[in-house]
Each structure stands twice: as structure tokens, then as C-alpha cells.
Chain A
């Protein structure tokens, strides 16, 4: 199985219940999308975790660079007013 070393990495997203979004569950190796789907079923949903699976080859994901975290994320840190917590809500409004 020297081939195995060349199997690409896939990212697995599982939706656990109807109405909830797919969440990233982890990653695994597979030769192609079909195999990735079966492997994902066997590795990540055997404890009844899911009703839907997405697989995407890891190379298709563009990730932000941790070295750029400063310029990327820190400017948002002192802008609390962007949270919608400054509105006065009427008492009749529940579950907000």
C-alpha cells in the first residue's frame, strides 16, 4: 500500500440534526470523494452523530494566515458597539 501515502487529506463536515448547520468534525485520508464519503460515514457518524455529510478536499480550503492575526482580527477587539446589546427592547419582546 505505498499508494496510501499519496491519498489526499479531506475535511469532513457533518450536520447533526435537521435544522442545524454542518460543522467541521475533522479530517481524514481518502483517494477520492466517494471514498472520503464512506470513510467519513464510518469514522464520524458511527455513534449516530449525523444526518448529512459534506466532504471537501483540504487543498480547496483557503485558510487565514496566523501571522496576520494582528491586522485581521485585533481591530475588531475594541468595537463593542458592533454587538447589538445597546438597544432598549420592549418588555413584550421575549427570547432575544
Chain B
């Protein structure tokens, strides 16, 4: 018997693999950039440092992913090219992570909504057949576990805090909730990666995700929104109006001084 066709089916096309890695990596890049904007603007010195620490954790992960993509690319590319020289439509991050730092309530809610998903994803990705992705996930688990602890603790404090903190964080929860469903959307690349044993079936994370998030919201004395309408498009490169501003800020140096190094 000839099993070649089976092997072919399980072998991933490199371009598809790169697309899949971008889907994961761009989330960390854009969220890291949002945190970076807060450097020196945190509500207290201690939280300011905590937010920048998390930003650096995320950028560390991004570097590993982009170095891997650069390695997989046929043309000569560096991690910086991938981070700074793409057009808006080429970024595959979910819409959630590009939402603005409206106030500390939004920062924490956005972070918590992403962290719960991120940790679940890493916990599955560590079993990827792709050794590089598996290694990045194993290292990321410890970092992301702390992120979730930080954002979850703060969400409880704000929700169960003063009248003002409760109202403001509830507003953030209501506004950001419609962006959560996109986390579980399966693109073609994600489906192919999952079939090849490289990627994670995000759809399976949906139920445990909403269970965990809802429980914490209740503990924080917050209402769980009942939105039936959800935004999506980020994974296809169709972003909200905020994305252009993030990129112009982030790409400015490399566009103005091409090839510049620190």
C-alpha cells in the first residue's frame, strides 16, 4: 500500500504555517504595543512597572515567533521587517488587542479577556508537533499565567471596589465583550495547522473560556454581558480604525530611518 497521500495531507505548506504563526504572534505584538503606550502613564508607579513588564514578556514571545517566520521565509527577512514593515491588512491580530487604553478599567479588562484565551492556547500549543512552536509555548505559559493572575486580580478589585470603579469597569466589560468571540474563529490556516497537529483547535477553547471568564466576572460582582453580536475581521486583516494609529506610531522609526538599529 502507498501511504504517500496521507503523509502529504498531514504535511503543512510553509506559507500556511507562516500565516498561522502570524495569527498568534501579532496578538502579542499589538497588545505589547498598547502596553508600551502606558509606559510612564500607569496609575501608580508599581502598576506602571507591572504593565511594562508584561509588554516586554509579549515582545519576547513575538521575537521568537518572528525569528521563526524569518527562518521559514525564502527571501531574506529579519524579525524587524516582519514587525515593522507590513501593511495594515497583513497584520492578523484579533480586534480585541488593538482596542485603545481608554482607562485602567479597559486596560485590565482587555488584558484579562485576552489572557484567559492566551493561556489556554499556550497550554495546548505546547503539544504542537512543531518543535519551535512547542518550545515558545512552554516558555510562554509561565509568563502568561502571571499576566492572567495580575489582570484577574485587578478585575476583581475594580469590579468589587468603589462605586466608580465598578461602573467604569462594567462599561469596559460591556464594550469589549463583543470582541471576545473572534478569538475562537478558525481561519483556513488555523484549520490546516490543526489538522497537521501543529496548531490548536481554538473552537474547543470557547466553552471553557466563557465559563472561566463568567465565573470571574461574577466573583467581581460584575454582570456578564449577553451580547449576541460579535465583531470580527482582525484575523483576515480587516481592522478597526485604531489599528492605523498604532501602526503609524510603531512603524515610524523603521519607515523614517530604514534599517535603523538601536
Contact = CB atoms under 8 A, between A and B. Distances in A.
Contacts of B50: 38-39, 42
Contacts of A46: 49, 53
A56 to B, nearest CB: 16
Interface in A74-89: none
Contacts of B80: none
B204 to A, nearest CB: 31
B46 A34 contact: no
A53 B144 CA distance: 20
Contacts of A38: 50, 149-150, 153
B154 to A, nearest CB: 9
Task: Give the interface centre of B44, B53, B149 by most chain A CB atoms within 10 Å.
Answer: B44
A28 B48 CA distance: 13
Interface SS majority for chain B: helix
Nearest to A30: B46
A4 B172 CA distance: 21
Interface in A1-48: 1, 3-4, 7, 28-31, 34-35, 38-39, 41-43, 46
A7 to B, nearest CB: 8
Interface in A47-80: none
Interface SS majority for chain A: helix
B46 A3 contact: no
B166 to A, nearest CB: 13
7 closest A-B pairs by CB: A39-B46, A42-B50, A42-B49, A1-B43, A43-B49, A42-B53, A28-B46
Nearest to A1: B43
Task: Give the interface centre of B45, B46, B50, B149 by most chain A CB atoms within 10 Å.
Answer: B46
Contacts of B4: none
Contacts of A4: 43-44
Interface in B162-182: 162
Nearest to B146: A41
B63 interface: no
B157 interface: yes
Interface string B38-74: 0000011111011001000000000000000000000
Nearest to B149: A38
A42 B104 CA distance: 18
Interface in B158-204: 161-162
B44 A31 contact: no
A38 B162 CA distance: 21
A3 B162 contact: yes
Given A3-B162, A34-B153, A35-B153, A42 B44 contact: no
Nearest to B161: A3
Contacts of A41: 146
Contacts of A35: 153, 157
Contacts of A7: 44
B87 to A, nearest CB: 35
B49 A29 contact: no
